[in-house]
Chain A
Amino acid sequence: MTELVVQIFRFGFLLLLWLFIFAAFRVVRADLFGGRPGRVAAVPPRSATPKKRGARGPKSLVVTAGPLSGTKITLGDQPILIGRADDSTLVLTDDFASSRHARLTNRGGQWYVEDLGSTNGTYLDQQRVQGPLLVAPGQPIRIGQTALELRS
């Protein structure tokens, strides 16, 4: 074994290790900044009705308060079910929430919130939701301890 080979092994292997880390960081970076869809539970658009989604209209639903605070759901065309039931899009563990509490629906690029007959009600701003109501981005939706809002 010549000294040169030993040195090549020595530094070559460290280089290899760090290359692995850079490759891994590229994936982390793509997750953080990359515009790729689906990094956070995306609700994919229905292929049957391919609608062009313009720049307008909210893109995501963000939980701003409550136990799930920070959770972000990327919006597609499908309705978002909120409640304690396991099959809800956003599963709440809140004694003040009903198992099927509220639903957000997309109609022509605009989102409507609808209360599904919950016990304690859904509030948009300060107003209790009776029928479907149009939700503007940034308007807080309150369900028990959880607050949500649409972001564009």
Chain B
Amino acid sequence: MAGPVTDPRGPGATTPTRRGTEAALLAFAVLITVVAQAIVDLTVTGSLRPEMATFSAWITVLWVVAHLVVRRWASYADPLLLPAVALLVGLGLTVIHRLDLASERAGEVAREDAPVQLVWATLGVTLFVAVLVVVRDHRTLSRFAYTLALLGIALLALPAVLPASISEVNGAKIWIRVAGFSIQPGEFAKICLVVFFAAYLVDKRDVLALASKKVAGLELPRGRDLGPVLLAWILSILVLVFERDLGSSLLLFGIFVVMLYVATERASWLFIGLALFAGGAMIAYQIFAHVQARVDTWLDPSAYYDGAGYQLMQSLFGLGTGGLFGAGLGGGRPDQVPVAKSDFIAAAVGEELGLFGLVAVIVVYLILVERGLRTSLVVRDAFGKLLAAGLAFAIAWQVFVVLGGVTGLLPLTGLTTPFLAYGGSSLVANFVLVALLVRISDAARRPATPHAPSMRLGDAPTEVVTP
């Protein structure tokens, strides 16, 4: 029990911090990571790499540090958030390493992406620690809401104004490539904007919840209150137009609409959001060739097998090959899917671990999201509630859109699978996101300790508190 020293509670009071549970589950996640790496090496090369020892030690140190920091600075945090992240990151590293080996075998230029990803994970844990140490109370964030909004929009707009040579990769203008590093600022913008949405909606929700007319059982908001949702809509359309990125656009608008719904408890916002989305999607489909191409390949990937549909078809073949139980780690050919390391890592997981493995991964995401939403229910301030719900939904929405794309349920969008996929900015940004969730869950589960030492009612001095 690493409770704060100033805790006025006596030793008899027991509010479990659950840090022991977290440590045990983290150890389990590390074990799974190391076992997975060993299986990959044994299956593909027949022997263990000497780097295995370094890797295992590194990953262990990483999570031990994260755990100790949580123990020290967020001792009542939810015990499941960190282990779920640890498992996902570990699995991601394994699959990336497995794809490294595959390209090595194919005699291609050996590009070791797994060590790079490990470095990004280390940076992610560093930022995780920094957020937990700096942000001692999540409510302080609401004071910087408008600054964060400005920062978020600046980050979002930056790739759009930069020249294409710096910001464009595969048609999407969402990158900043400087000195060999490529960063997707949109990933960080996501978090800034969720914080802003939360603070803004806490302020304005009373107005936004006012209803004017009831149409078919739905309480419609007043016309003038449509402003914010229209603004969010225009912002996401701008992202779509200037950055040609379907994913970020969808992510932003979805998060805003759902947070609006959570804040006002009015289902009508969901329908308005859906209608706006449908309208925007129709217009985008008519105007933009890249959106049209995405939708066409989604409707009939096999017709475009030689072109745009190749990736999706290969992914579907991979999933089919995997079947129920998968080909075993290292047993499949996940390298047959183009960009399997980042956008299509779920296809690689599905091929090697099968339906059971992929569902296990989805369930781990589900646990992560459930803990986030639970935090949102339990925490006692409205800003924390909205922030936790928004962050948890951001993860859920992203996983849904990506997996929908990989399995052919939705058009491909180019979002990254959180924690799993290769890509530095996504990994680091999601570590910051989880750090915020850990911070809020600490506030939610921490026993309420009165500010002043408690007195019996009769002993309390009489005071007139001006409201």
A43 touches B447 (CB 8 A): yes
- B283 adjacent to chain A (CB < 8 Å): no
Instruction: Report B300-334 CB contacts with A as 1/0, cut-off 8 Å.
Output: 00000000000000000000000001111101000
Q: Is the CB of A41 within 8 A of B25?
A: no
Complex Cα distance A132/B462, Å?
Answer: 13
A71 lies within 8 A of chain B by Cβ: yes
For window 110-149 of B, CB contacts with A under 8 Å fall at 139
Q: For residue A138, give the distance in angstroms from its CB to the closest CB of chain B.
A: 22
Are B35 and A43 neighbours in the complex by a CB distance under 8 Å?
no
Q: Is B427 an interface residue (CB 8 A)?
A: no
The CA of A145 and the CA of B357, in the complex, are separated in Å by: 47
Q: Report yes or no: A44 in contact with B39, Cβ–Cβ below 8 A.
A: no
Please state if B457 and A37 are interface contacts (CB–CB under 8 Å): no
Known: A10-B331, A28-B80. A21 touches B364 (CB 8 A): yes
Among B331, B363, B367, B380, the most chain A Cβ lie within 10 Å of the Cβ of B380
**Is B289 positioned at the interface, with any CB of A under 8 Å from its CB?**
no
Q: Which of B370, B448, B457, B466 has the most CB of A within 10 A?
A: B448
A71 and B377 contact, CB distance less than 8 A: yes
Q: Does B444 contact A (CB under 8 A)?
A: yes
**C-alpha spacing A5/B385, complex, angstroms:** 49
Contact status B36-A41, CB under 8 Å? no
On whether A21 and B360 interact (CB within 8 A), knowing A27-B80, A70-B377, A71-B380, the answer reads yes
Q: How far is the CA of A31 from the CA of B14 in the complex (A)?
A: 15
Return the chain A residue nearest B443 by Cβ. Answer: A41
Closest to A119 in B: B467
Residues of the A chain whose Cβ atoms lie less than 8 Å from the Cβ of B354: 14
Closest CB of chain A to B345's CB: distance in Å?
A: 16
Inter-chain contacts of A6 with B (CB < 8 A): 43, 328, 331
Task: Determine the chain B residues whose CB is within 8 A of the CB of A73 once the complex forms.
Answer: 380, 448
Q: A6-B331, A132-B457 are in contact. Are A90 and B380 (CB under 8 A)?
A: yes
Closest to A86 in B: B139
For B367, the closest partner residue in chain A by CB is A24
Q: Check B12 against A20 for contact (C-beta < 8 Å).
A: no
Inter-chain contact A99/B13, CB cutoff 8 Å: no
Q: Which of A9, A37, A47, A112 contacts B9 (CB 8 A)?
A: A47
Tell me, rounded to whole Å, the shortest Cβ–Cβ distance linking A126 to chain B. Answer: 22
Closest chain B residue to A84, Cβ basis: B467
Q: Judging by beta carbons under 8 Å apart, are B353 and A13 in contact?
A: yes
Q: Tell me the minimal C-beta distance from A99 to chain B in angstroms.
A: 6
Contacts known (A31-B374, A46-B10); A41 close to B444, Cβ less than 8 A: yes
A78 located at the interface, meaning its Cβ lies under 8 Å from any Cβ of chain B in the complex: yes
Q: Are A17 and B29 in contact (CB under 8 A)?
A: no
User: A46 and B454: CB pair below 8 A?
Assistant: yes
The reply on A87 being an interface residue by CB < 8 A is yes
Cα–Cα, bound, A114→B460 (Å): 13
Residue of chain B at shortest CB distance from A105: B457
Kindly list chain B residues whose C-beta atoms are within 8 Å of the C-beta of A93: 202, 381-383
Kindly list chain B residues whose C-beta atoms are within 8 Å of the C-beta of A47. Answer: 9-13
A17 touches B380 (CB 8 A): no
Q: Contact at B353–A14, with CB atoms within 8 Å?
A: yes
Task: Flag if A95 contacts B16 (CB, 8 Å).
Answer: no
Given A6-B43, A24-B84; A18-B360 close (CB under 8 Å): yes
Across-interface contacts of A23 in B (CB, < 8 A): 24-25, 28
Given the known inter-chain contacts A1-B46, A13-B39, please indicate yes or no for A79 contacting B12, CB distance below 8 A. no
Cβ of A60 under 8 Å from chain B: no
Q: Are A24 and B25 in contact (CB under 8 A)?
A: yes
* Those of B180-205 within 8 Å (CB) of chain A: 202, 205
Residues on B with C-beta less than 8 A from A10 are: 325-329, 331
26 A-B contacts (beta carbon < 8 Å): A9-B39, A9-B43, A9-B328, A13-B32, A14-B326, A17-B32, A20-B29, A20-B83, A20-B87, A25-B367, A27-B25, A38-B14, A39-B445, A40-B445, A41-B445, A44-B14, A46-B10, A48-B10, A70-B377, A72-B378, A73-B448, A86-B139, A93-B381, A99-B465, A117-B464, A119-B467
Interfacial residues, chain A to chain B (CB-CB below 8 A): 1, 6-7, 9-11, 13-14, 16-21, 23-25, 27-28, 31, 36-48, 50, 67-68, 70-73, 78-81, 86-87, 89-91, 93, 95, 98-101, 105, 107, 112, 114, 116-119, 132
Q: Nearest 8 pairs between A and B by C-beta?
A: A47-B10, A98-B467, A38-B15, A44-B13, A10-B328, A87-B451, A119-B467, A47-B12
